[in-house]
Chains A and B, each alone.
Chain A
Amino acid sequence: MTDEALLAGMAAGDAQAATTLVRRYQARVYGLALTIVGVPATAEDVAQDAFLRAWRFAGGYDPRRGGVATWLLSITRNAAIDAVRMRRDQPYEPELLLAMLDTRSADDGGQERTADADRVRTALRTLPRDQAAAVVMATFYGLTAKEIGAREGVPIGTAKTRIRLGLARLRDKLEVHDG
C-alpha cells in the first residue's frame, strides 16, 4: 500500500493504516527524534507524539506539498523541537550534527530514497561550514537567527545572512541536479 493511501486510511480513522505507517517509518522517525533531542527516553516519547500528530493531521496532508516521508519527518522535527524547548538539557553541537548528517546510513528506504538523500548530502557538503551550521541548527534544533548568532559568537545579521545564503545555495545545487 502506498504512503498516500495509508494517510487517507488514517484520515478515515483506520487504525490498521496507522499500524502500517508506524512499522514503515518508526526507525526514521525515531532516528530524527534522537538526532534532535539526544536522549533516548525523550526521543521515544517525541517519536510517539509524532505518530499521534500524524494520525491527528492525516486529513490535512497535501501530496502537492511533498511526499509522506517529508511530511512525517517535519512533524517529527516540530514535536522534537517542542520537547527540546521545554527542557533544554543537552548542549547544541553543530559539528556533531553536521558529522551525523554527513554519514551515509544503512539503507532502509529503497534506492530512490537513498539517491535523494545522497543528493541532499552532497549539496550540504558544498556549503561553507558556517552556512551549513546555521542552516542545520535552525532546521533541526529550531534555533532562531538570534540564538544561532549568540551560539556562534557572531551578530544576528551575520547569522541571518548565513541562513539565507546557505539555503539559497542548497536550493541551487539541488535544482541543477533536478535538471
Chain B
Amino acid sequence: MDDDRYGCAQATELLAELAVGAIAGEQRADVLRHVAGCPSCRAELAELARVADGLLQLAPPVEPPAGFESAALARIAVEAAPSPSVAAKPRYPRIRRPGRALAAAFALVVAVALGAGAVWWRTAADRSLAARTRQTQELADGRYLKAARLTTVAGDSAGTVFMYEGNPSWLLVTISAAPVDGSYRVVLINQDGRRYPIGACEVASGSGTTAYRLATVASIDTIEMTAPSGVLLTART
C-alpha cells in the first residue's frame, strides 16, 4: 500500500503481538498494511502464528454435554437450508454454497474496516479472515454486522449483502451466482419506502463485489440490484 507507514524493522517488533492477537486498533491496521505488501514479514508472521496456534492444542479435550452434536448440526442445517423449515428434517439437502465468496467477503470486511478499500482484499488474506470481528468492531466503533441473502425473483440465491453499523457504516454486496452479467444498478429502499440509488456493481461470470460507505445501515429495508437486461436481485434485511 502506498500509505505503508511501517518499515520492516518497526513491523517486526509487532509481528509477535499480531500473531497472538494482542494488538488492536490503528497499530494493528498499520502492521497489517505493511505485512500485506512485504513477503518476508508475511512469512515471519505466518511462522509465528503457527507457533501461537500450536498452543491451542494444549487445551484439555472435554466431552461436551449430551445433545451437543445434534444441536451443532441443527445450527449448520439452518444455515445450509434455503428455508428454516428444512432444519427439522434429519437429512440436509445438498445445495450450492458460496463458501469461498463468503470467506472472501469476510476478508473484505476486515480490509474495508481497515480503511484499505476494495482493491486490498485479494492480498489481505493472511490470518485475518473469519473471526476477527471483535477487533474489527473495536477498530471501527462497530455495533453490528449483519448479512442478508440476495435472491433472484425466482428465489434462487445470487449472493450476500453485508451491512456494518459502525464508524464508518458500510454495505458490501458480494454476488456469486448472478443469472446474467453486466453493470447492476444498486438501489437502497429505506423502511420509510424512499429509494436511494447508491451506485453500480460490475458482474462478470456471475460474480462481482462492491462496497459503499453510508451514514447508517440501520434504516435499510431492501437492497435492489437491476441488470441492464432488467433482471432483478433483491435482499431484505
Contact = CB atoms under 8 A, between A and B. Distances in A.
B130 A22 contact: no
B51 A170 contact: yes
Given A18-B73, A34-B62, A48-B75, A13 B131 contact: no
Contacts of B71: 44, 48
Interface string B103-118: 1101000000000000
Contacts of B106: 57
Nearest to B97: A13
Contacts of A76: 56
A97 B174 CA distance: 41
B50 interface: yes
Given A34-B62, A105-B60, A53 B130 contact: yes
B53 A55 contact: no
Interface in B171-198: none
Q: Determine which residue in B24, B57, B129 has the highest number of CB atoms from chain A within 10 A of its CB, and name it.
A: B57
Contacts of A108: 61
Contact of B68 (A48, A69, A100): A48
Interface string B42-63: 0000111011111111111111
Given A59-B100, A78-B130, A106 B21 contact: no
Nearest to B96: A13
B122 interface: no
Contacts of A166: 16
The range of chain B's interface size is 35 or more
The range of chain A's interface size is 35 or more
Contacts of A135: 20, 52, 55
B22 A15 contact: no
Contact of A19 (B68, B73, B95, B103): B73
A130 B17 CA distance: 15
Contacts of B134: 78, 81-82, 85, 142
Contacts of A143: 22
A74 B53 contact: yes
A81 B94 CA distance: 32
Nearest to A166: B16
A27 B97 contact: no
B205 to A, nearest CB: 17
Interface in B14-49: 16-17, 19-24, 46-48
B13 interface: yes
Contacts of A109: 61
A15 B131 contact: no
B56 A57 contact: no
A106 B61 contact: yes
B99 A58 contact: yes
Interface string A42-86: 011001110111011111100001100110011111110110010
A170 B118 CA distance: 36
A103 interface: yes
A164 interface: yes
Contact of A138 (B17, B80, B131): B17
